[in-house]
Structure 1
Amino acid sequence: MTLPLQSTATMIAVGTGALLWIAEGILPFFRVRSSRGRHAFVNLGLAATNLLIILPADIATAAILEQTGATFSGLRGYLPDGTPGTIAMLLLLDLWLYLWHRMNHEIPIFWRFHAVHHSDAELDVTSAWRFHPGEILLSELVRLPFLVLTGAGIRELIIYNLLMNPVIQFHHSNVRLPERYDRILRTVIPTPLLHRLHHSTIRSEHDNNYGALLSIWDRLLGTLLIGPVEPTKALGLEGTSGPDWQKWSTLIQKPFRG
């Protein structure tokens, strides 16, 4: 069952990305200051590089979870069977991603890598995949003990990704969404308005709104920030978001520079 589910998750992610890319060209929120194609090329170049880590890591994770799951059920053993247990596990996976994202802002060594994501001054759907390979590797390594302890299964991970990836693409997108719709949606999921504040050049703003799939964790843990965002708002990081930094090779080197 997991292979067809993974294929469905991949098709949904690709389809959502394509639709949002088209929508950004029709109803952009921010004025595009450079070539959309060049911007996407850099971001998707990083994404392609990260596949060299993600694919073998996913295979290894699946093997480890299958091996450990045969003798150790973890927290999953205390959850109800069926749909209620699956929903509880999905909530735990989303809480983990919130906490991991927050750690990337609060722990200096993690921030050095995560800053590559935040150095994008022109937020759009391709920004959802702009991550340094070092961050991806750290994420896979740090997440594994959590998955073992919770007893998460491969099927639940795939279902979570199926739901989470389109939402992440949506809240990174440069689509002009009427405020009333954004207000309704952000009661459940992170929205473009919330995530534009998260990508602000102002540190007190971008250290908020960490949610991936659900906005509930920001609400419960005091990191929800709601405020006006104008189309002229500056995004990115001071000093490292200029054109000279927007190259694959430069972004790869960024965490290792002073």
Structure 2
Amino acid sequence: MNSMGELFSLSDLRTLSYGTTIACGVLFWIIEGLKPFFSTVQKRGLHARLNLSIAALNLLILLPSGILMAFMLEWSNSLWPGIGMLNLPPAPEAILIILLIDLWMYLWHRLNHETRVLWRFHSVHHSDATLDVTSSWRFHWMEILFSELLRLPLFMLMGAGIEHLLLYSLFMTPVIEFHHSNLSIPPALDRVARFIIPSPMMHRLHHSKLMSEHNTNYGSMLSFWDRLFGTFLFKENLDDLQIGLDGESDSRNQQLFALLQRPFRS
């Protein structure tokens, strides 16, 4: 274990990260049912069951990948210190690594929109016409696999430890659940939130059917990447916003096997 072990217990981080993900997901799902932004949402249970089924399949990749990631990062840290060569104290080192991970998440998300092959898989996420907290877990298993394969050598290069990934997940996952949620929050709160994180109003534009809108606001945990790279977009009024993809809202297309097969359709 690297210097992060001086600040955090690995087992505590793992428990806290997983527990926070589940707790925030349940909390947001309950609250968005009581105070929704899109009031026309129906059959929330069926929608959640579909997205959670996709998420459960992804665990078949994420669980063994997490074990491999922990082993490979520990091994690479013994050979290559990465950011550790700067000899920073544990807290600044963790902040720097977390910023680099979040930058990678921005770039990876943007690549999924701008690369035709990757978009075929990422479009499963965008084909959801009912945006809520469970949408944050709806990703095609091939996209998850590509992401895991690409980020491992990057994390090894930067000298990240599994502790950094768990700490990043602890902060990032509730943010992703929050900005995918169907919560109706005061405009002033959304305004404050989007200075730091992608707010729900920001991310709803990202799920617009209009390409000029859904090719914006790629940030995962922090919103300033979009401002820095010129992909930030905001609209005060979303009354005319249409979520999803054209021709994908039909119930036949919103079935588990149809979504798994979607990237391979001509």
Q: TM-score normalised by the shorter chain: which range applies?
A: over 0.9
* Aligned Cα root-mean-square deviation (Å): 1.1
Tell me which of 74, 82, 93 is aligned to 1:66.
74
Q: Report the count of equivalent residues.
A: 258
Tell me which of 235, 246, 250 is aligned to 2:254.
246
- What are structure 2's unaligned runs of at least 5 residues? 1-8
How far off is 1:231 after superposition? 4.6
Residue 161 (structure 1) aligns with: 169
Alignment of 1:56 onto 2:61: no
CA distance in 2, matches of 1:11, 1:229: 35
CA deviation string 1:68-115 (max 9, x = no partner): 110111233226122111111111111010010000001111100000
Amino acid in the other structure paired with 2:71: A
Residue 188 (structure 1) aligns with: 196
Give yes or no for contact 2:83–2:93 (8 Å, CA) kept in 1: no
| Identical-pair percentage | 49
Amino acid in the other structure paired with 1:146: L
Alignment of 1:221 onto 2:229: yes
Moved more, 103-112 or 75-84: 75-84
Tell me which of 106, 112, 118 is aligned to 1:104.
112
How far off is 1:31 after superposition? 2.1
Task: Describe how 1:109-124 pairs up with structure 2 within 5 A.
Answer: 109-124=117-132
Q: Secondary structure at the match of 2:172?
A: helix
CA distance in 2, matches of 1:15, 1:88: 27
CA deviation string 1:47-79 (max 9, x = no partner): 000000000001011111111110111233226
CA distance in 2, matches of 1:156, 1:88: 10
Residue 199 (structure 1) aligns with: 207
Q: Secondary structure at the match of 1:142?
A: helix
CA distance in 2, matches of 1:35, 1:232: 22
Give yes or no for contact 1:197–1:229 (8 Å, CA) kept in 2: no
How far off is 1:247 after superposition? 0.8
Alignment of 1:150 onto 2:158: yes
How far off is 1:229 after superposition? 3.9
CA distance in 2, matches of 1:34, 1:113: 26
